[in-house]
Amino acid sequence: MKYKQKSIGRYVAFILIFTALIPVLAMLFSTLQSTLTLLEERNTDAQYSAANTIMAVKDDLMEATEYRIETLEQGPEFQEAFDLPAIAKLLQTSSAADNNVKYAIFAKEDNSYAESIDLPANANFIPTERPWYQNAVANPGKVVRTQPYLNDGTENEYVVTLSKLITNQAGEKGVLAVDVSYHTVDATIKNLAVGRTGEILFVSSEGIIMNAANKKEINKDMSKDANFKAIKQSSKDKGFVNEQSKKYSEGFYFDKGGKGSTTWALVTWQSNEYQDEIRSLLITSSIVALVMMAIVALVVIFTTSLVREIVTSLSNQFEKISQGKLQLILPSSKKESGRGIRGLAHRFIRPDEQGNEIHQLIARYNHMIQSIGKLIQRVQGQSQHVATMSDSLLELSKQTSTATEEVTETITGIAEVTSSQAGETEQSVTQVQQLSDVVQELLTNVSDMNTQSQTSVDTNRQSVQIMDQVSSNWQTELSQMNALMQQMTSMNTNIQNINQIISVINDISYQTNLLALNASIEASRAGESGKGFAVVATEIRKLAEQSKASTLEIEQIIAQIQEQSKEMVNQTSRSLDGGEKQSQLINQAIHSSNEVFNQNNQLLANIQTIQSATDDIVAIQQVVLENLENISASTEENAAGTQEVSANAEEVLATMEEFIGHVAELQTISDDLQQLTRQFDVEK
């Protein structure tokens, strides 16, 4: 079967290509990183410079306007009595000299005013209600500014109104206001450039874009943009923010212009800012990489071919060694080696102790061939001696094996007897261990009986205590029943007294009835004059009869109460007799419980005595068991030692048999070695 020939050429090629690509890739990434860093630093500086320039132009514009207002304030038109026509001419002249001033007005407290441009009359225009007027009045002596706003009549022009309260020598007051546009700022933005895609925005603090190089951005509201919210919340006047934003994904460099400023400068750039530079750098690096790859490919082809020829020549020499031909490698001349890569490879293959690595390898190869030749000659001489000695050693091994077999049989007999003794001792230990288990079980039962007896004693003690408490409670109950019986007797006596009172009431009723009858008789005798008395006598007799009837009812009720009272007294008496009998039974139960308690205490003492005796038995049994275990362990150790000796003897016997086999094999090997050494053709 023919195998596919493999080569190290691919590995050499891979190493060379990888080695060449590392510096190229390192140079590419290093150059890319340094270029991006330089571009970012350049753009950062440009952002900072642009924002500062915009804010400086804005500040200069505001300062110039404030200076203009303060200069106008010093004029006679404002220091003396306010002359509105003269003030109007002054405002027109001053506004015409500055393209940034769109409108100027001076308004008095009575809403009369003078302006630089005659605007159409507006009935709704009341100067004192305007923010610029109110701010100036609220801040006397200062030039105040309004929020930027879109100028009337324009599409993309924002202005800010600067105003100041003026008081003349006569004490009159008025407000001078100037509308200033950001024309200068707009022109500056158009002339500034930040990188390739940079964008400068001049916005109000409310988020309205007032000026931008891209006119489409003006008037847009960016107050809801995440970057603008971060800028507004920032406590810094200058800095950089980069929040998650759909439109302004690259963030902003911002300049708020200091505390109280209502206009901010924001600078950003697009995400493709470095696209051209990166593309150019990648193209250049790719060209360099391709050139390097072409050079490396040529070097790889040459190197792998040279290495392949050198390895092929060395492989041929090793093939000769496998055939038994030990030949030295001798240097070849240019004529013998030929031309091209093959000739160069053959000229490389020559022994030289002072040459390169290949030359040194060939020199060591020759030394190896010479050493192997000498070794084979010595092996040939010694192999004969080994064959002779192996025959003698084989005979000696057979004799040793026979003696070892006899020793093994003797030791095996001793081991069997010792093992039998160890088995009997182990059986005795097992029986003693079983006895220990029985005693331990007895000890457990006694302990359980002790625990149960103790529990029974505690239960009897609690029962006696409960019976004592029941007896005490029952005596209390008997006392209460005696008191109840006495109260019932007293109540019966009181009821008898009530009968006496009722008898008295019946007598009174009878006498009253007689008196009423006599009164009626006397009234009838009196004739007309006794009629009223007869009526009274009749009513008294009715009352007497009603009292008699009520008394009869009371007597009946009292009679029923007497019967019930007698029955209750009888029942209470019977309950009292039963309670006394119950007390006797309770006393008998208490006496019986005390006797049971004493018997349990005696039983508990007997159980504790049995437990103590059992503990002594366990201690003695433990000593006997330990002695038997020591004897068993010693016997087992002797048996194990004897078995180990027997096993060692058997192992020695097996080793001797194996040794005999090895000696026989050594004899065979020595014969084969002699045959093999005769195959080598050693050059001398």
- Render 335-399 in DSSP notation, one character per residue: HHH-SHHHHHHHHH-S--TTS-HHHHHHHHHHHHHHHHHHHHHHHHHHHHHHHHHHHHHHHHHHH
Q: What is the pLDDT of residue 174?
A: 93
Instruction: Give bridge partners of residue 252 from the DSSP assignment.
Output: 241
Find the domain containing 232 and state its range.
193-273
633 domain residue, yes or no: no
Decide which of 303 and 628 is more confident: 303
199 domain residue, yes or no: yes
CA 524 to chain CA centroid, Å, is: 120
Q: Where are the beta strands (DSSP E) in 292-335?
A: 325-326
Total domains in the chain come to 1
Residue 212: which H helix or E strand, with range? strand 209-212
258 domain residue, yes or no: yes
Q: Are strands 209-212 and 173-181 parallel, antiparallel or unpaired?
A: unpaired
Residue 682 confidence class, pLDDT cut points 50, 70, 90 = low
CA distance 186 to 159: 12
Per-residue pLDDT for 613 more than 70?
A: no
Average pLDDT over residues 464-485: 72
Structure pTM?
Answer: 0.44
pLDDT, tens only, 375-429? 776 766 666 666 676 666 667 666 666 766 666 666 666 566 666 656 666 776 6
Q: What is the pLDDT of residue 408?
A: 66
239 domain residue, yes or no: yes
Of 19-33, 88-102, 244-258, 569-583, where does the model show the most confidence?
Answer: 88-102
Q: What is the pLDDT of residue 681?
A: 62
Per-residue pLDDT for 176 more than 90?
A: yes
**Tokens in use for 496?**
């008898």
The burial of 160, by beta-carbon neighbours within 10 Å (0-12 exposed, 13-18 middle, 19 or more buried), is given as: buried
CA distance 374 to 301: 41
402 domain residue, yes or no: no
Average pLDDT over residues 204-227: 86
CA distance 166 to 80: 11
Q: DSSP assignment, residue 332?
A: -
Per-residue pLDDT for 104 more than 50?
A: yes
243 domain residue, yes or no: yes
CA dihedral of 449, 452, 455, 459, whole degrees rounded to 10: -110
Q: Name the average pLDDT for the chain.
A: 76
Please report the sign of the dihedral spanned by the C-alpha atoms of residue 23, residue 29, residue 30, residue 35.
positive
Q: What is the CATH number of the domain that holds 260?
A: 3.30.450.20
pLDDT, tens only, 257-300? 887 788 999 888 777 776 777 788 778 878 877 887 788 778 77
Residue 163 confidence class, pLDDT cut points 50, 70, 90 = very high
198 domain residue, yes or no: yes
181 domain residue, yes or no: no
In contact, 209 and 217? CB cutoff 8 Å: yes
Decide which of 668 and 656 is more confident: 668
